[in-house]
Amino acid sequence: METWMTNFHGLLTLDNKLLQTDDEEEAGLLELLKSQICDNAALYAQKYDEEFQPYLPRFVTAIWNLLVSTGQEVKYDLLVSNAIQFLASVCERPHYKHLFEDQNTLTSICEKVIVPNMEFRSADEEAFEDNSEEYIRRDLEGSDIDTRRRAACDLVRGLCKFFEGPVTAIFSGYVNSMLAEFAKNPGQNWKHKDAAIYLVTSLASKAQTQKHGITQANELVNLNEFFVNHILSDLKSPNVNEFPVLKADAIKYVMIFRSQLPKEQLLQAVPLLITHLQAESTVEHTYAAHALERLFTMRGPNNTTLITPVEMAPFIEQLLNNLFKALAFPGSVENEYIMKAIMRSFSLLQDAIVPYIPTLIGQLTHKLLAVSKNPSKPHFNHYLFESLCLSVRITCKANPITVSSFEEALFPVFTEILQNDVQEFLPYVFQVMSLLLEIHDNSIPSSYMALFPHLLQPVLWERTGNIPPLVRLLQAYLEKGGATIANSAADKIPGLLGVFQKLIASKANDHQGFYLLNSIIEHMPPESIIQYRKQIFILLFQRLQSSKTTKFIKSFLVFINLYSVRYGAIALQEIFDSIQPKMFGMVLEKIVVPEVQKVSGAVEKKICAVGITKVLTECPAMMDTEYTKIWTPLLQALIGLFELPEDDSIPDDEHFIDIEDTPGYQTAFSQLAFAGKKEHDPIGDAVGNPKILLAQSLHKLSTACPGRVPSMLSTSLNAEALQYLQGYLQAATVQLV
C-alpha cells in the first residue's frame, strides 16, 4: 500500500505539459488522471479508514494545493469537483476533524475553495440561456453531481457537521460583502448576489426530501429574514426580463425552503410566481411552474392542502392563463414542469376550474393532437392525460350529463390516435375512455358500440401495456350494457371469451383474464353465456394442471365463489360434476379448504365468504352424499378466513416466475392516478356482514334438517372455531336446532 500511495501522491503533484491540453472545454489526460486519483482517495478514506490514516494528511495537503492552483476553466470541472468531494468526505469523519478545526484553516477553505467555486461562470450563463433543458436537469433534478457548485455545497454541509457556528459566522461575512458589492452596481455585480444566495442555501440546508424540500435547516441562518430582505425584491421585480438568473434563484429559494418559510410568505409568493410564468427565460418560467406545483402539494393541518382553493380564488384565472401561455414559449412547447403544474392546479382547485373547462379542454385536446404526431416526452404526455382525467372527473362530478361534451371534444383525437396506432398513447386513451364510459348511466352510447369490435382485435392484446386498461374498458362495457352486448351480435361473446382464453394462458396476465371473466359472470344475462360455461371451466382446469401458481389459485377461488353467489351453489356443484364425476368434492378438498386463507383484499374475501356460505347451506349434495365429509373442514376454513391472518406465503419455486418473452419494444402500462377506478363490490349492500350471513344461513339449514348441524359441529369442528361460531350466532340472535 505504501508504494501505491506514494505513486498516487506523486501523480497528484505532477505538472507535465505533454499531458495537458490547450482546449478550454475538454479535460486532458493529466486532468482526468488527477481527478480519478481524488475519487480513489475519497473511496480509500471511506472504505479503508484505518489503513489510509497515515497517508491522509499528505493527500489533504496535496489536494488542497491542487485546488488553490487550478483555474476556473471548464476542462478542470471534474478534477475540482472530485478534489472538493474528497475534502467533503474527510471533514465529516470525527477522527479527521482536527485537520480542519483551526479558524485560519476554515477561513482559508472558505475563501480559496468554496467561494471561488460557487461563482456563476460564463459557461453557466451560456447553459442558462442556450441550453436551458440541460441546465434545469442539472439544477432541479440533481444530475449536477460533478459540478463545482454541487461539490462546494457538499463541502459546506460537511464542515457544518462539526463547525456549524464558526463556518456560519465566516460565511455570513462573505454573504454580506457579496450583497454589498451587488448593491453598489447591480447591473455589473449581479453574479455576487447569485453566489450569496447559493451560499446561504448551502449553509442552511441540513436535510432535504423531494416531497418537502429542506426539512432540517441550520438554526443560525434566519431564512425568513433573508427572504424578506433579499429574495422578495427579485420576485417582485417589475422588469420581467431583467436579471433572469437572480429571479430563478429567488424562485428556487422559495421552492427549496417552502417547509421552513411561514405560510404568509408562501401566500405572498404565489401571485408573484404566477407572474414569473410569463418570463421569456425558459429556466425562470419553468422554475415558477415547478415551485407552484410543489407549493400546491404541501399539506397543512388535518392533511388538507396547505394552500386552499379559497386562498387561490383571486388568482385562478391568471394562473390558468399564464400556465397555458407558458406552453407557447419556443423552449417549452412540451415542458413537463408546466404540464405537471397544470395537473396539480386542477387537482387543488377542483370545482373552481369548472367555469374555465370549456376553454381549457380545447387547449388540452389541441396539445394532445400535436404531441400525438411524435410522442417524445413521456412525463409531459402522462401529465397531459392526467389533466384530461381531472377535467372530466371534476366537471362530471358536479354535472354528469356534461360527459357528452367531453366525448365530442376527445373522440376525434382518440380516433386519430387509434387509427395511426400511436402505441405510447393507446393505454392512456383506453383509461380515459373507461373513465368516460363509467360516468354514463346503465347504457352504452352508439359511439362506444361502434368501437367495441375493434377492442377485441388480437393485435391490441399482443402489447402488454394495453392489457390492464383494455380489460378495464371491456369491464366498463359489460357493467353499463351486458345485455346490449349479448343482444347486439352473436360474435361478441366468443370474441370476449377469446380474450379471456389468451389472458388466462399467461402467468403475467391471468389475473386480468379473471377480472374480465368475473365481469362477464356478473353482468351478462345468464342465458347468453350458458352454452360457454362448461368450456370456461375446462380451460381453467387445463391451466391448473399445466401451471398452478398462488396468484392463479387466489383468482380461481374468487371466480368460483362469485359463480356460486351469482348462479347458486347447486349450479356450481353441477358444472364441476358434469366435467368429471366427484370433481366438486376434489376441488373443495384440494383447493378451497387448503388455499382459501391465501385470498387477499376485503371484496375478494367477502365474495369467497358468501360463496362458501352458499355451498355449505344451499347445496343438498353437501348434506346427503360423500361430499358430507368435506362440510366441516369447509366451515372450519371459512371461519379461518374470517379470523386468522392472511396466508401470504409463496412457494420457493414461484419467486422467480418469468414474465413472458415480449419481442421487441413494448410500451409499458402507466396507471393514470386521476383515472382511478373505485373498487367494485359485486355483492354490495345485499350482505353487510358475512359472519351474520353465515349464522343466519346455518340457522335456516338447521331448521330444515333438525339435529344434523349441531351433531356435525360437535364431532369435528375444533373448539376455537366453535367458539367463534357461537359469537356469530349470538350477534345474529339465532341458534341452531
**Per-residue pLDDT tens over the stretch 426-436:** 999 999 999 99
Q: Which of 66-80, 551-565, 646-660, 706-720 has the lowest mean pLDDT?
A: 646-660
Distance between CA atoms of 283 and 276, rounded to whole angstroms? Answer: 10
The pLDDT of residue 98 is 86
The pLDDT of residue 96 is 85
Average pLDDT over every residue of 52-58: 86
Sole residue written with cell 460537511: 158
Confidence class of residue 389 from pLDDT cuts 50, 70 and 90? very high
pLDDT at residue 141 greater than cutoff 60: yes
Size of the chain in residues: 737
Residue 543 · residue 499 · CB < 8 Å: no
The pLDDT of residue 657 is 45
pLDDT at residue 653 greater than cutoff 70: no
Residue 431 · residue 466 · CB < 8 Å: no
Q: State percent of the chain over pLDDT 70.
A: 91
The grid coordinates of residue 496 equal: 370476449
- Helical ranges in 547-627 per DSSP H: 550-567, 569-579, 583-587, 593-595, 602-618, 621-624
Confidence class of residue 507 from pLDDT cuts 50, 70 and 90? very high
The pLDDT of residue 142 is 63
The pLDDT of residue 23 is 61
What is the tens place of the pLDDT at every residue in 294-314? Answer: 999 998 777 888 999 999 999
The pLDDT of residue 8 is 52
Q: Per-residue b/e over 286-308, b at no fewer than 16 CB within 10 Å?
A: bbbbbbbbbbbbbeeeeeebbbe
Backbone angles phi, psi at 214, to 5 degrees: -75, 120
Backbone angles phi, psi at 213, to 5 degrees: 75, -145
Residue 209 · residue 256 · CB < 8 Å: no
Average pLDDT over every residue of 660-668: 46
Spell out the long-range contacts of 25-31 with Cβ–Cβ below 8 A and sequence spacing 24 or more: 25/74, 25/75, 26/75, 27/75, 27/76, 27/77, 27/78, 27/79, 28/75, 31/75, 31/76, 31/78, 31/79
pLDDT at residue 120 greater than cutoff 80: yes
Distance between CA atoms of 35 and 66, rounded to whole angstroms? Answer: 11
pTM: 0.88
The pLDDT of residue 355 is 96
Residue 399 · residue 416 · CB < 8 Å: no
Residue 480 · residue 442 · CB < 8 Å: yes
Would you call 73 helix, strand, or coil by DSSP?
coil
Average pLDDT over every residue of 269-289: 95
The pLDDT of residue 32 is 87
Confidence class of residue 664 from pLDDT cuts 50, 70 and 90? very low
Radius of gyration of the CA atoms of the chain, in A = 34
Sole residue written with cell 417549452: 332
What is the tens place of the pLDDT at every residue in 27-50? Answer: 778 888 888 888 888 888 888 878
Residue of 31 and 630 predicted with greater confidence = 630
Angle, nearest 10°, between helix axes 550-567 and 533-546?
160
Average pLDDT over every residue of 618-622: 95
CA distances 371 to 382, 413, 427, 466, 672, Å, are: 12, 11, 15, 20, 18
Residue 598 · residue 641 · CB < 8 Å: no
Mean of pLDDT over the chain: 89
The pLDDT of residue 17 is 46
Distance between CA atoms of 575 and 541, rounded to whole angstroms? Answer: 12
pLDDT at residue 492 greater than cutoff 60: yes
Confidence class of residue 661 from pLDDT cuts 50, 70 and 90? very low
Residue of 656 and 60 predicted with greater confidence = 60
Which residues does 621 contact at the CB level (< 8 Å), separation at least 6? 570, 573, 584, 627
pLDDT at residue 720 greater than cutoff 90: yes
Task: Quickly count helices (H) and strands (E) in the chain.
Answer: 39, 2
CA distances 436 to 166, 344, 364, 606, 621, Å, are: 62, 21, 16, 28, 46
Average pLDDT over every residue of 695-722: 92
Average pLDDT over every residue of 158-187: 91
The pLDDT of residue 391 is 97
